[in-house]
Chains A and B, each alone.
Chain A
Amino acid sequence: MILLSGNEAVARGAWEGGVILGTGYPGTPSSEILENLSGYSGLRAQWCPNEKVALEVGSGASWAGGRVLVTMKHVGLNVAADPLFTLAYTGIRGGLVIAVADDPGLQSSQNEQDSRHYGRAARLPVLEPSDSAEAKEMTLLGFRLSEQFKIPVILRLVTRISHSRTPVFLGRRSKPASCRIVRDPERQVMIPKYAAVRHRVLEEKLEELALYAETAPCNRVEPGRSGEKIITSGIAYQYCREAAPDAAYLKLGLVYPLPRKLLRKFARGKDKPFLVEELDPFLATEIRAMGIDIRSKRKEYGLGELNPDRVKNLLANRAEKVPPPSPLPGRPPVMCAGCPHRGVFWVLKKLKLFVTGDIGCYTLGTLPPLSALDTCLCMGAGVGQSEGYRRVLPPEEGRKVAAVIGDSTFLHSGVTGLIDIVYNGNGGVVIILDNRTTAMTGHQHHPATGQTLMEEAVFPVSLETVCRGVGVKRVKVISSYDLPALEDFLQDSLDRPEPSVLIARAPCVLLKGLKKKSPYRVEADKCVACGLCLKSGCPALSAGEDGKVSIDPVACTGCAVCAGICPVSAIIR
């Protein structure tokens, strides 16, 4: 028995289940699954450029007979939704489990979507573990079900499962299947004629799965003493156990499709069972649609993450007020001292540009004092948004719009937006914030870093060549710390009819092996306490009582951005 996080447990389950390939794209809270899987022998784990590609690679390997684990965060499943829906029709050959991690409470995400809906929408079974032991067992079960019913299986995690450590019993690895080419166009070529048949087959599989659900060991009844009855699943089960230890439980492990008879039997009697689930009323809607009478939570409990206290109130049907904001100063994450993104935002702010942004560490550029990023929708969106703004704005306004996007995000889904700018002749400037890594989610490699997840050295995709290749003529690489050069290039780009790409390049300061330069300091008698440097938001800078600035020599990386900003040259090395 050892303690594993939910993510480690999924990786372990995949290894024990004889997985030979793991694919995915990073995203909190799912990233550690694949990182852990890459540490096991006898398989390959790889980051793909995005989730759609990850699922497509996975489907190929599965059709050849191999067991495959595909991982992503909840919004990643939106990106992979196209192959997902049709993969449900084709079915699979080697077991295919898609581990998708939701983020109730938005610890680190742009939305709070509930991935269970994909089960119903794409007609796929969804398993939901309530701790690490179940995360491992359900990964194994997912592969068995996937092969038994010839269907991809969704393993739905949430942050609190992925990032909690609980006891797990380890097992041995089963032998991976051997792979070969199988020609089977009626299943693998989804022309309308074949797809219509496969749609019927899929609905039949779902009926069989619903029958399986009636006696599946992962759907279990636990007797109670209080007379109270609760239907629940996943992490909510643990909170309920804390809040109502003596209730009787129907704990669902397979949350789609649902066991109609089992539910009806459990609900029988004079007391209606309470349905407790995190986020959307997914189970409640499904169960009510079966004509089963249940009680369920008030609406407000569908927002945010549950916890034992909220579940207690939820069960008592107490109205929940929005908590008053804490009087204590918050501690939001900040751009690190020396972060290469800072100088770029400084220049963007100076030029008073409207910045369509994207998702990554650089999204922090929206926070004061920089306040220099104006949109953030989803990965890749900022590039297309800049074009949309320019398309409808009067020219003197449109010239002020610039897009920023990270290197990992550009390769994920920004390049298509750039192609559109070239194609539709919309001009403008796209700034790729190239810090040579996927920093936000924990410094994963991507196609332009020159290394894979397995730490093989590979040919790095050249961002500048890609941009030129799609037809951008003005492409310039400038150091992220060279503020005057950044400013000149941007100034010169704004009024041109053709598009420009500025690649602002400097490695993330948190990257391992990066040598720190010697720190800067402030000459106190030169400092005029104007506070300009503080507006860069560098956490190494702070002002004393007299307003004069000092620099924390431990935090300072010697990036010199503040030295360039200082109007009286008081910041020196």
Chain B
Amino acid sequence: MKRETTSVIIVGVGGQGTLLSAGILSEAAALSGLEVKSSEVHGMAQRGGSVLSQVRFGERVYSPLSPAGTGDYLVALEELEALRYRQLIRPKATIFLQRKRILPAPVLAGAAVYPPGIEETLTGEGYRVEGVDEADLVSRFNTAKPANIYLLGRLSRHLDFELTVWKRVIYRYIKESLRDLNWAAFRLGREDGNIRK
């Protein structure tokens, strides 16, 4: 059976763990027997720049970049970044969104305005948004840090990788002291995704 290429776009701001989720997703796809290519722009990730990762998997994948308007899912850890990169995914595709705003330097300096009502804009344009409030994560985990892994959990509902594969990769990628927390976040995301479906 020929399987089409699936493309997942993961975006956020430096320090939010986009590269980590891209790594975990890539590894889970590879362990599920697919060819994987992933690519990231992280030149100045540590300096608060925007971070874009693309993960593509399937029977045979050529380009690590997906053509614009063909990505299947967008995982966004920050609202403005979701808006910035939405053109990369198909019309009506699903966006997994952390409702969180990180004001970029031009906004802080008063030279630009942070666009209001981003989630409504996305929904209005026809995208299917599965959102989670940052505060919600904090109330469940005492921290919103595992937002990246939580959103992967929600995405996992749409991919047919075995749960054991996810667990193996998450445990391999995340240091011991944070493993249980992140695995819990992943499972919660997966359950929340189920309810929404």
Contact = CB atoms under 8 A, between A and B. Distances in A.
Contacts of B62: 238-239, 241-242
B8 to A, nearest CB: 13
A330 interface: yes
B81 A331 contact: yes
A454 interface: no
B106 interface: yes
Given A163-B39, A335-B47, A329 B64 contact: no
A393 interface: no
A521 interface: no
Given A3-B30, A107-B43, A329-B80, A165 B36 contact: yes
Contacts of B23: 165
Interface string B106-122: 11111111110000000
Given A331-B50, A537-B109, A312 B36 contact: no
A182 interface: no
Interface stretch (A277-285, A361-369, A380-388, A481-489): A361-369
A364 B44 CA distance: 11
Contact of B48 (A1, A238, A336, A369): A336
A165 B26 contact: yes
Contacts of A334: 47-48, 105
A328 B106 CA distance: 10
A282 to B, nearest CB: 21
The 4 closest A-B pairs by CB, nearest first: A108-B43, A333-B47, A333-B44, A329-B112
A403 to B, nearest CB: 23
Nearest to B50: A331
20 contacts: A107-B43, A108-B44, A131-B37, A163-B39, A165-B39, A166-B37, A242-B63, A308-B66, A309-B67, A329-B104, A329-B106, A329-B113, A331-B48, A331-B81, A333-B14, A333-B43, A333-B47, A333-B48, A334-B48, A537-B105
A335 B110 CA distance: 17
B2 to A, nearest CB: 13
A500 B84 CA distance: 47
A537 to B, nearest CB: 7
A539 B67 contact: no
Nearest to B38: A165
Interface in B58-100: 62-68, 80-81, 83-84
Contacts of A364: 47
B154 to A, nearest CB: 23
Given A107-B43, A165-B38, A539-B105, A331 B80 contact: yes
B120 to A, nearest CB: 16
A534 interface: yes
B80 A539 contact: no
